[in-house]
Amino acid sequence: MGFMKVAMLFLSITIVFSFFMATLTGAAEYKVGDDAGWTFGSANVNYRIWAATKKFQVGDILVFVYDKTQNNVLRVSLHDYHNCNAANPIRSYSSGNDSITIMGPGHYYYICGFPGHCLTGQKVDVRVPKVFRPSDFPIGSPSPAPATALSTTSVHVTAPAPAKSSAPSLFINNGLGFGFGFGLGLTLFLIVIGADYVF
């Protein structure tokens, strides 16, 4: 009797843990500007259109690849984004190969702080919705950024979540959801408790 109860409890914990881990994986990596990267001038990248074609979610990684002698990346407020004001960045990046993990839903505004670059379009608004439904993702999407060998240095940082972040959304972005894992765990727990009365 005791062995069966312990085995069921172990099985329950293992299944719940597996579903919990599945909700935290599956992050995509996006190279900002795709093959052109984060650039100014001749590449003519429209970062607004680039961002509009992506389905960003919590946990995704933005990779900014650029010539650090000619560009940088500044995370700024909405007001500074619209006005191309580089004087008060929330965060600055300048390695030439910056990886930034999206930690919460909201808008993330990035500009190049070099004079004139933002005014000519070197800025991007990354919108991360609170919840994704599985139907939001066509098969094969999102496409991860290709690996690049432009720089041997890489800096990986985590972007702080916008002020109005919602922690539970971390667990429901891929459709499995915290509620599903919790419901499954509760069901299995009741089975284990019920096993006491059956065995």
Task: Give per-residue pLDDT as tens, 5-42.
Answer: 766 666 566 555 444 444 455 789 999 999 999 998 76
Same domain, 12 and 50: no
Give the pLDDT band of residue 175 (cuts 50, 70, 90).
very low
Residues 136 and 198 in one domain: no
Q: What is the mean pLDDT of residues 166-186?
A: 45
Residue 155 backbone dihedrals phi, psi, to 5 degrees? -120, 125
pLDDT score at 41: 76
Which residue would you say has higher pLDDT here, 58 or 171?
58
Q: Domain limits at 181?
A: 1-26+174-199
According to the model, what pLDDT value does residue 148 have?
45
In this structure, the number of other CB atoms found within 10 A of the CB of residue 155 comes to 14
Same domain, 78 and 139: yes
Sign of the alpha-carbon dihedral angle for 132, 20, 163, 95:
negative
One domain, residues 44 and 67: yes
Based on the structure, what is the number of domains in the chain? Answer: 2
For residue 159, what pLDDT band results from cuts at 50, 70 and 90?
A: low
Enter the tokens of residue 9.
């409890």
pLDDT value, residue 187: 60
Please name which of 161, 172, 85 lies closest in space to residue 136, comparing C-alpha atoms: 172
